Structure 1
Amino acid sequence: MCLKYISDWLSFTLLPLAIWSIAVHLLLYFPNGETTYASNNQLTNYVWYFEGLCFSGVMMLLIATVLLTVENYNCYTFSSLQHKYWSQRYSRLGSPILALLGVAFSGYCLIISSLGLAQGPFCSTLAGWDYPFKDTAGSYLTNSSSWAQCLEPAQIVQWNIILFSILIALSGLQVIICFLKGTMELKRILCGTHSFIIQPDTF
Structure 2
Amino acid sequence: MCSGRCSRFIAGFLYPLVLISMICNVLLFFPGWKAEYALERRLTPEVLYMGGLVGGGLAVLVPALFIHLTGNHGCCANRCGMFLSIGFSVIGVAGALYSFIVAILGLNLGPYCRNAFFLWGRPFQDSSEMYLTNLDQWTICKEPENVVAFNVGLFSTLLLVSCLELVLCFCQMLNGLVGCICGTQTQ
2:177 to 179, 182, 186: 186
2-structure distance, mates of 1:138, 1:175: 30
Identity of aligned residues (%): 32
Q: Which amino acid aligns with 1:132?
A: P
2:144 to 111, 131, 153: 153
Give the drift of 1:153. 0.4
Within-5 A mapping of 1:1-203: 4-72=4-72, 75-76=73-74, 88-125=78-115, 126=117, 128-136=119-127, 139-190=130-181, 192=182
1-structure distance, mates of 2:30, 2:39: 10
CA change 1:137–1:56 in 2 (3 A) is farther
Q: Which amino acid aligns with 2:100?
A: L
CA change 1:195–1:149 in 2 (3 A) is farther
TM-score (norm 1): 0.84
Give the drift of 1:193. 6.2
Q: Rg bigger for which structure?
A: 1
Number of residue pairs matched by the alignment: 184
Q: Which amino acid aligns with 2:179?
A: R
2-structure distance, mates of 1:39, 1:8: 41
Per-residue CA distance 1:165-190 (angstroms, 9 max, x = gap): 00000011000000011011112212
Residue 139 of structure 1 aligns to a residue whose secondary structure is coil
Unaligned runs of 5+ in 1: 78-83
Residue 76 of structure 1 aligns to a residue whose secondary structure is coil
Whether the 8 Å CA contact 2:59–2:96 is kept in 1: the answer is no
2-structure distance, mates of 1:170, 1:195: 30
Residue 140 of structure 1 aligns to a residue whose secondary structure is coil
Q: Which amino acid aligns with 2:180?
A: I
Whether the 8 Å CA contact 2:17–2:165 is kept in 1: the answer is yes
TM-score (norm 2): 0.90
Q: Which amino acid aligns with 1:89?
A: R
Alignment RMSD (CA, Å): 2.1
CA change 1:14–1:137 in 2 (3 A) is farther
